[in-house]
Amino acid sequence: MATETTAEGCEACPAHHAGNLIKLGVNMSNWDYVVALAGNPNTGKSTVFNALTGLRQHTGNWPGKTVVRAEGGFSFGGGRYKLVDLPGTYSLLSTSLDEEVARDFILFGQPDVTVIVVDATRLERNLNLVLQVLEIRDRAVVCLNLMDEAKRHGLQIDDRRLARDLGVPVVPAAARQGEGIPLLIETLAQVATGQVVCKPHRLKNETPAMRKAIDRLVAKIESVYPDLPNIRWVALRLLEGDKRIIEAVRTGELGDLSRGTPGDPGTLSEVTR
Amino acid sequence: MSAENRGEEILSEAAAVRWEAGPNFHDSLMETIYTDASQVADRAVSRTDEQPRFDLDRTIDRLVTSRWLGFPMMLAILTVVFWLTIEGANLPSGMLATLLIDNIHTTLKAGSAELGIPWWLDGFLLDGVYLAMAWVIAVMLPPMAIFFPIFTLLEDFGYLPRVAFNLDNLFRKSGAHGKQALTMSMGFGCNAAAIVSTRVIDSPRERLIAIVTNNFALCNGRWPTQILVASIFIGGLAPQHMAGLVSAGAVVGIAVLGILLTFVVSWALSNTILKGEASAFSLELPPYRPPRVLQTIYTSIIDRTLIVLWRAVIFAVPAGAVIWLSSNIIVGDASLAEHFINFTHPFGLLLGLNGVILLAYVVAIPANEIVVPTILMLTVLSAKMAGMGEGAGVMFELDSETTTAAIFQAGGWTLLTAVNLMLFSLIHNPCSTTIYTIWKETRSAKWTTISALLPVGMGFVVCFLVAQVWRLLM
C-alpha cells in the first residue's frame, strides 16, 4: 500500500477526481488493485486504456486489433491501480486464442475490478458478454461507451435502469472525447475499495433441469473447495465440458485459485489485498 | 485426500449430473444468456421518435462495399494514396540526399583526411556505416512520413473492415478464413505484427494458411523499395506530368498482384497439404468515425515512421559495415563482394536481376527496409572499383549528379531489372523478424521452413519466367 500520499482536505474529497489522477504509463512497480478491461471487439477498450494510463497504445477502428494484453497503470486517491487491456471478445465460452487470453485473465488473474466496455449502439449483443463476466466476477463496472454515437443514431439509454438490472454501476462515456472518464475512475475506485458493493445479475431463465444440475454440482465443489470464488461458473463450465477447466480441476490448479496463488506468475504474484 | 483424487471426485459428479441437465446444455445456456440480455436491453434502450432521414454510414457502406463499385473504389483509393506519397516524397528525398550525402559526407571525408585518419578506418566508418545510414534516411523517411499517416487515417476512419468485407467472399472461395482479409491488411503494415494478429482465426488449418501467405502483403519495409523503383524506372517512361500517376499505378499493380497471389497460394494450400472446409464467422462493420487528424498524424509518425526508420537504421549500420568490408577485403584478385557478385551474376541475369541485387537480398535478410540502400551502396562500390581502372571515377560523377537514377544506370540496369526487382521484392522470403515470429506462433520447424522457402522459390520462378518472356518479346 502506498503510504507516502498525504490525503488531506480537498484531496480526500471525491469531487477532486480529475486533479487526483496520476497517469503512470507502464512504470508500475507495486500496485494495490488490478483492474481488467474487457469488452466486445471495437468498443473502444484501448481508447479507455489510453485515457486512464496516459499511454498511447495504437488504436484502430477495426475489430481484432488487440490480440495480446497490454498493461499500464494509474494512481488515484492514494491507491495504485494496474490496468490490463484484454483482447476484445464476444463471449467467454469460445476457443480462439485471443478469447482465451481474456477468459483466463478474468478467471485466473483475479482482478479486483473488471471494467466491461460496451458499445451503447449495440447494447443487446454486448450484454451477452457482460452477463457472462458477471457470472464469474462480483466486482464489476460497466462503461457504456460510444454514447455520442448512440445519440447520433437516435438511441436513448436509461443507464440507471441498466445499473439496477445488472446490479453493478454503469457509467455512460464517450472515451474518444474524454467524456465520462473521471466518473469511471471514481466509480471503479469505489468498487475496488469496497465503498460500493455490487449485487451482480445472475442468470434467471434457466430450465428447472439446468438449475437442479447446477445446484448439485455447486454443492459438490463447495464441499471440496469451500474457499473457491465463483463456484457457480466453474460448475457451468464443467457441465459444458470445457477442457481447460476440466484440466484445472484434475491437476488441482483450481485449488490454488482458492488459496490466492493462481497460475499466471508474471501478473499475479504480487496481487494481495 | 490428494489434489488429484479431489479433482476426480468433482469430475465424476459432473459426469453424473450432466445427463440430468438435458442433452443440449451448451445451447440451453446460450439461450438463457441471450434471453436475459435481450430482456435487460429492452428495458434500458428506447428510440427517440425522430428517425434520422439520411443515414450517412449506411450510404457510404452501400458505396464502398457494393458489388460493382467496391473493388474499383479500393483500387482508386490505393492509387491516390501512393500518388500523394510519390509526388510528395520527391522533393524532400532529394533535399535529404543532398544534405546527408553531398554536404555532410564530403565534409566528414575532408575532415578525416585533415586529421590523418587511416584509410581503412575512414572507409569503414564513413563510406560503410555512415553512408548506409544516410541512404536509409534519405530514401525512406519522406515516403514513410507521408504514407503512414494517410494509411492510419484510413484505418481510423473504419475503411479496413470494409476491405475485409469486399475480400471475404474471395477468401472463402480459396478455402481460407474470411478474417484472413484483416490479417492481410495488417500485413500491409508489418508482416511480423500480422503473424501475431492471426490469433483471431480459430481454426489451426486456416490460421496456418494466413501465416504462410501473409508475406504476399507488401509490408512497411518493402513499400519504399516499390515506390522508389517505380518512380525512377516506370515513371520515367511516362511524360513528366503523368509520371507520378503512372508510378503509383505500378505500385498498386504490385500490391494487387500480392493480393492475387494470396488467393492463389491459399487455394493451393487448402487443396493440398491443408485440406478442409472454410469455417463461417461474422464480420462486424464498425461505424465510421471522423478520424482525429492531428492525433493520428502524431501517433503514426511516432509509432510507425520513426520506429520503422529506427529499425532500418539499426540494421543498416552493421549492413553498411558488412558491405564495406566485403568490398574491401581482397581475396586473390578481387574483393569478397566481387567474388560473390561475379559468381551469382549469371544466375541473376537468368532471373532478369543481377549479382548486386542477389547479394543485397542476402545482406538484407534481417530487414527488408535496407534492400534499396544496400543495392545503391553495392552498385556505387562495385562501379567505383570498375571505374578506377579507367581513371574515370564514377563517384565524382555522382557527386555532381547525385540522383539515384544515375547510380542505377551506372550499374547497368534495364527496365527488366526494375520490373523483376519489384516482383522479387514482393515475392521472396520474409524478413528474419517475421520468420522468428512465425516460429514463436507455430512452434513448428516445418511450417516455419515452408513459410520462409515457399515465397523465395516462387520469386525465382516468377522472375525467371518474366525474364524469358521479356527477352523473347523485346
B283 → chain A, closest CA residue: A63
Please tell me which of the candidates B3, B37, B40 has its beta carbon nearest to residue A255. B3
CA distance B265 to B255: 15
**Residue B390 in this model has a pLDDT that exceeds 60:** no
Classify the phi-psi angles of A54: left when phi > 0, otherwise alpha if psi is within -120 to 50, otherwise beta.
left
CA distance B444 to B465: 32
Distance from B270 to chain A by nearest Cα, in Å? Answer: 20
- Taking contacts as CB-CB distances below 8 angstroms, the residues of chain A near B3 are 251-252, 255
Model confidence band, residue A207 (pLDDT cutoffs 50, 70, 90): confident
Model confidence band, residue B194 (pLDDT cutoffs 50, 70, 90): confident
Amino acid B269 reads L
Report whether B163 contacts B181 (CB < 8 A).
yes
What is the average pLDDT across B451-474?
93
B3 → chain A, closest CA residue: A252
Contact B36 A132 (CB under 8 A): no
Contact A250 B11 (CB under 8 A): yes
What is the average pLDDT across B106-120?
86
C-alpha distance from residue A13 to each of A1, A2, A75, A183, B231 (Å): 20, 18, 15, 14, 63
Cα within 13 Å of Cα(B243), Cβ side: 17
**Secondary structure (3-state) at A265:** helix
> What is the pLDDT at residue A262?
39
What is the average pLDDT across A211-223?
86
- Taking contacts as CB-CB distances below 8 angstroms, the residues of chain A near B14 are 217, 220, 235, 238-239
A59 → chain B, closest CA residue: B156
Please tell me which of the candidates B44, B50, B299 has its beta carbon nearest to residue A123. B44
Contact B37 A130 (CB under 8 A): yes
A208 → chain B, closest CA residue: B21
Contact A201 B13 (CB under 8 A): no
Q: Which of A43, A86, A48, A47 is nearest to A68 (CA)?
A: A86
> What is the pLDDT at residue A57?
60
The per-residue pLDDT for range B318-375, each reduced to its tens digit, is: 878 887 888 788 888 888 888 888 888 899 989 999 888 998 888 888 777 778 777 8
- Taking contacts as CB-CB distances below 8 angstroms, the residues of chain B near A242 are none
- Taking contacts as CB-CB distances below 8 angstroms, the residues of chain A near B162 are none
Distance from B327 to chain A by nearest Cα, in Å? Answer: 42
CA distance A71 to B155: 23
A87 → chain B, closest CA residue: B200
- Taking contacts as CB-CB distances below 8 angstroms, the residues of chain A near B155 are 60-62
Model confidence band, residue B3 (pLDDT cutoffs 50, 70, 90): low
Please tell me which of the candidates B14, B36, B197 has its beta carbon nearest to residue A64. B197
Name the most confidently modeled range: B292-296, B391-395, B428-432.
B428-432
The per-residue pLDDT for range B43-52, each reduced to its tens digit, is: 888 877 656 5
> What is the pLDDT at residue A270?
28
Contact B41 A93 (CB under 8 A): no
**Secondary structure (3-state) at A226:** coil
- Taking contacts as CB-CB distances below 8 angstroms, the residues of chain B near A238 are 10-11, 14
Model confidence band, residue B160 (pLDDT cutoffs 50, 70, 90): confident
Range name among A184-193, B16-25, B114-123, B319-328 with the lowest pLDDT average: B16-25
- Taking contacts as CB-CB distances below 8 angstroms, the residues of chain A near B284 are 41-42, 63
Please tell me which of the candidates B10, B25, B286 has its beta carbon nearest to residue A240. B25
Contact B32 A241 (CB under 8 A): no
The sign of the CA dihedral B322, B324, B329, B332 is positive
The per-residue pLDDT for range B238-284, each reduced to its tens digit, is: 887 888 888 889 999 999 999 999 999 999 998 988 887 666 666 66
- Taking contacts as CB-CB distances below 8 angstroms, the residues of chain A near B164 are 62
User: Which of A62, A100, A165 is the best mutation test for B, with the most CBs of B within 10 A?
Assistant: A62
**Secondary structure (3-state) at A165:** helix
Counted across chains A and B, CB pairs separated by less than 8 A come out at 194
> What is the pLDDT at residue B393?
25
- Taking contacts as CB-CB distances below 8 angstroms, the residues of chain B near A62 are 155, 158, 160-161, 164, 182, 286
The per-residue pLDDT for range A46-74, each reduced to its tens digit, is: 889 888 887 666 555 555 555 566 788 88
Contact B286 A62 (CB under 8 A): yes
**Residue B185 in this model has a pLDDT that exceeds 50:** yes
pTM above 0.95, yes or no: no
Give burial (CB, 10 Å; 0-12/13-18/19+) of A183. middle
Model confidence band, residue A136 (pLDDT cutoffs 50, 70, 90): confident
**3-state helix/strand/coil string of chain B:** CCHHHHHHHHHHHHHHHHCCCCCCHHHHHHHHHHHHHHHHHHHHEEECCCCCCCCHHHHHHHHHCCCCCHHHHHHHHHHHHHHHHHHHHHHHHHHHHHHHHHHHHHHHHHHHHHHCCCHHHHHHHHHHHHHHHHHHHHHHHHHHHHHHHHHHHHHHHCCHHHHHHHHHHHHHHCCCCCCHHHHHHHHCCCHHHHHHHHHHCCCHHHHHHHHHHHHHCCCCCCHHHHHHHHHHHHHHHCCHHHHHHHHHHHHHHHHHHHHHHHHHHHHHHHHCCCCCCCCCCCCCCCCCCCCCHHHHHHHHHHHHHHHHHHHHHHHHHHHHHHHHHHHHCEECCEEHHHHHHHHHHHHHHHCCCCHHHHHHHHHCCCCHHHHHHHHHHHHHHHHHHHHHHHCCCHHHHHHHHCCHHHHHHHCCCCHHHHHHHHHHHHCCCCCHHHHHHHHHHHCCHHHHHHHHHHHHHHHHHHHHHHHHHHHHHC
- Taking contacts as CB-CB distances below 8 angstroms, the residues of chain B near A127 are 36-38, 40-41
Range name among A57-71, A241-255, B81-95, B435-449 with the lowest pLDDT average: A57-71
Strands A79-85 and A33-39: parallel
Contact B25 A125 (CB under 8 A): no
Please tell me which of the candidates A42, A123, A239 has its beta carbon nearest to residue B41. A123
Contact A249 B7 (CB under 8 A): yes
Residue count (chain B):
474
A238 → chain B, closest CA residue: B14
Contact A239 B14 (CB under 8 A): yes
> What is the pLDDT at residue A273?
25
Q: Tell me if ipTM is over 0.85.
A: no
What is the average pLDDT across A116-126?
91
